[in-house]
Structure 1
Amino acid sequence: MENLRVLELYSGIGGMHCALKESRAPAEVVAAVDVNTTANDVYRHNFPNTPLWAKTIEGLTLDDFNKLEFDMILMSPPCQPFTRIGLQGDVSDPRAKSFLYILDLLPRLSKRPRFLLLENVKGFETSSARDALVKTLKDCGYSYQEFLLSPTCLGIPNSRLRYFLIARAMPGSFSFQATAEQILEGFPKSAKGDYADPAPVPIHCPPSAGSSIEGGEDPGVPGGGGGGEVEEREYLLPPKTLLRYALLLDIVRPTCRRSVCFTKGYGHYVEGTGSVLQSRTDTKVEKAFASLDSLSEEQKLSQLSTLGLRYFTPREIANLMGFPADFSFPEKTSIKQRYRVLGNSLNVRVVAKLIELMVA
């Protein structure tokens, strides 16, 4: 296969770009498009040679798209119109406007891309936006397959259930038996038999990680440096948080084979934003939580502190999300900003597998 020209829309911090590289597809990103200033800074830091257009998608004309002559679109449109905890405005939400603009342009391109991959939240599969996407693909002569996948299906100890769609221009078919009317909840086996169920991986050894959760290198974190140990004190839960939210925490140990989805509010909000790590494993959680109601605040704090509960560092979250060891953040990017852009990103290894399936 010749080198594919790839257009990366809603490029964020470059999760799709990392996945494209990991897939080893013969491809290069010819342009990335995003308006988020912080995400763009991270993208430029990691992909300085890729043209990055800091503008709205609606600000690009049909002629702008045609000049790129791209063979593949990778995109992760705004998820807010489709999230279960949001207003679920769907196509009426102003944040869906750019996606509808893409669907309007696709049939009018002078050279339609051969491949398309889209990622979004669970909920997109029942939306009017999804229906419009599928109709456009059918009208343009694409075959497609939809998925609902979490990194756990690859043995990665982190839940992040997301909707995916891959499409390829016909004639031609996928290397697996497509079931367009069914949303798959696992990876199908390709003709090569590449997708056998993997063995689960404990949390202390994240896949594609450049460091371990347990005090390894943490090049993306102030205090962690490029070769020192993680400064755990920076990430310990504050006393007020421990006292107020202890019973709401999702606590995992380094040997756990699970963690909950990390969101953009991690480190700022506690409930439902991600797991926290028990760094002192010589104490059992049950013992630390025993008889808390009968203790004074000082006694509660002393007892809970024996667990050494801390937030995962941004680098550790990046590891769990499949970002490569050489992925890093500009020094000026604050910890809060790092959590936020990671929470808005995707699992690199899941997307890499989908790209492999799409182009095989």
Structure 2
Amino acid sequence: MTLSVSESGVSAEVVAAVDVNTIANEVYRHNFPDTPLWAKSIEGISLKELDSLSFDMILMSPPCQPFTRIGLQGDVSDPRTKSFLYVLEILPRLQKTPGYILLENVKGFESSEARNKMIRTLEDCGYIYQEFLLSPPCLGVPNSRLRYFLIAKLRMQPFSFQTSNTILEVFPCSDTSGRGASSRARSLGGTLQVTADPRRPVRPAQGGDGAYLYKLETAEQLERKRLQDSDSSVQTLQDFLEEKVEISRYLLPPKSLIRYAWILDIVTPTCRRSTCFTKGYGHYVEGTGSILQAAADVEMSSVYNSLETLSDEEKLAALSTLKLRYFTPREIANLHGFPSVFGFPDKITTKQQYRLLGNSLNVRIVAKLIALLLQPPQNAT
């Protein structure tokens, strides 16, 4: 959020950053040593302490676990919503009502009771608002990370665009970053779906246009990938890769190659897509993010078409020729829009870096929303 404020071009001072995660706080202090950091829960901050800050804007990412589709979806009954509900409870009681609010969460939050409570609170406090479902390809970034966003401002300060009671899937036309109707389709890119036992080989099936399905995917999924890779408004992955990588540190281990070969989402540097990176990336394989093929001179289809008749040892040898590796933490940070000046303290392990990045957000999208939030109406003097 702090990086997004800077990226937005808005002149602002961060009066307090709040988080309970010890590792996240160490990284924050490393990058923002002069910003007040409160290592405590939101609900542990008194009304008096909040009033003393006299802040103009709240930027927040409440815990997403109560709303994820793979979780229990406990919504407001989940104890992890306590901090968010405290913000809603205390907002009307602040001496100075903040002029601006931005919230980020996972897709699924838009249909939650927590969201409904938020909307009722905002309306009671005199805010107007706009909701979004946005993913980085709408800004030309080759990474699917569909997230819910809300921006709100006090009613006496109208937006620079016409708000809608529907959730927008592109930036409004008044923001020059909008890319038209095609962005709507790109923003909805999802993760590869597993349709069978990943340990059981399947015979490659022919898809549309003579293309072959080398892994456990449908013809529809293959076509979606083809369309994503042909979208020239999105950059290629090579624009986000490090020039020098110690590949041996990031190669998939043999056990993972054998077990998960059929469900890996493999991309090359010339691809214009990658799946969402989660906090389990680098530790788990299934559904945690794309894998990069580092061997540019090896044809993936020829390798996969040969696997069915091979022993495990032979399969491993064949798959190893692709040099399949994890994206580095720096490369994921690049895809998330983190500037080159952002870094991790030396004592933060690679696994910890992956966990933090998997729980993070796209800096560029939030920066655009902050700029949009503070942009005055066109007829304002």
Please state whether the residue corresponding to 1:248 is helix, strand or coil: coil
What's 2:140 paired with? 155
**2:85 paired residue number:** 100
Task: Identify the match of residue 41 of structure 1 among 26, 34, 42.
Answer: 26
- Paired residue for 1:302, among 317, 322, 333? 317
What is the rounded CA distance, in whole Å, between the counterparts of 2:329 and 2:338 in structure 1?
11
CA distance in 2 between partners of 1:122 and 1:239 (Å):
34
Equivalent residue number for residue 345 of structure 1: 360
Shift of 1:291: 2.7
- Give the equivalent residue in structure 2 for 1:177: 162
Amino acid at match of 1:126: S
Matches within 5 A, 1:37-76: 37-76=22-61
CA deviations on 1:178-211 (whole Å, 9 max, x unpaired) are 11x1000111121x645345921101103xxxxx
> Structure 2 CA distance, aligned partners of 1:313 and 1:352?
24
CA distance in 1, matches of 2:236, 2:14: 33
C-alpha separation in 1, matches of 2:303 and 2:61: 42
Unaligned runs of 5+ in 2: 184-232, 376-381
Does 1:195 pair with 2:178?
Answer: yes
Aligned to 2:95: 110
Give the paired residue count.
324
Aligned-partner Cα distance in 2 for 1:27–1:196: 28
Question: 2:191 is matched with which residue?
Answer: none
CA deviation map 1:85-108 (0-9, x unaligned):
000000000000110000000000
Pair 1:356-2:340 in alignment: no
- Which residue identity does 1:184 align to in structure 2? L
Tell me, in whole angstroms, the C-alpha distance in 1 between the residues paired with 2:348 and 2:59: 25
Cα distance between partner residues in 2 of 1:175 and 1:69: 25
> SS state of the match for residue 84, structure 2?
helix
1:283 is aligned to 298
Letter in 2 for 1:188: P
Is 1:330 paired with 2:330?
A: no
**What CA distance in whole angstroms lies between the structure 2 residues aligned with 1:243 and 1:353?**
42
Q: CA deviation at 1:177?
A: 1.0
Q: Does 1:253 align with 2:273?
A: no
Displacement of 1:28 in angstroms is 1.2
Q: Structure 1 295/340 Cα, relative in aligned 2: closer, same or farther at 3 Å?
A: same
2:112 to 123, 127, 133: 127
**Alpha-carbon displacement from aligned partner over 1:316-360 (angstroms, at most 9, x marks no partner):** 000000000111000000010000000000000010000011000
Query: How far apart are residue 290 of structure 1 and its match?
Result: 1.4
Alignment partner of 1:21 is 2:6 = yes
Shift of 1:297: 1.5
For 2:11, the aligned partner's letter is P
1:205 matched residue in structure 2: 239
| Amino acid of the structure 1 residue aligned with 2:166 | Q
After superposition, what is the alpha-carbon deviation per residue over 1:152-189, rounded to whole angstroms, capped at 9, x for unaligned? 1111000000000000012021111111x100011112
Q: Which amino acid is 1:335 matched to? A: T
Counterpart for residue 6 of structure 1: none
Aligned residue for 1:273? 288
1:289 partner SS = helix
Partner-residue secondary structure (3-state), 1:153:
helix
The Cα shift of 1:284 comes to 1.0
Q: Aligned partners of 1:114 and 1:288: how far apart in 2?
A: 57
Residue identity matched to 2:169: E
Q: Does 1:31 align with 2:16?
A: yes
Q: What is the distance in 1 between the residues matched to 2:321 and 2:179? A: 41
Aligned CA-pair RMSD = 1.0
Equivalent position amino acid for 1:252 in 2? V
Distance across 1 between alignment mates of 2:276 and 2:352: 17
Are 1:90 and 2:75 an aligned pair? yes
1:317 is aligned to: 332
Task: State the AA in 2 paired with 1:280.
Answer: A
For 1:358, the aligned partner's letter is L
State the distance in 2 between where 1:154 and 1:356 align: 14
Q: Deviations over 1:228-280 (max 9, x none)?
A: x2111100001111011111100000010000000000011111000010000
> Equivalents in 2 of 1:20, 1:130: separation in Å?
24
**Equivalent residue, structure 1, for 2:195:** none
5+ residue gaps, structure 1, are 1-15, 207-212, 217-228
Which residue in 2 is equivalent to 1:5?
Answer: none
Deviations 1:216-237 (A, max 9, x none): 2xxxxxxxxxxxx211110000
Is 1:138 the counterpart of 2:172? The answer is no
| Matches of 2:260 and 2:239, distance apart in 1 | 28
The 5 A counterparts of 1:230-249 are: 230-249=245-264
Identical-pair percentage? 65
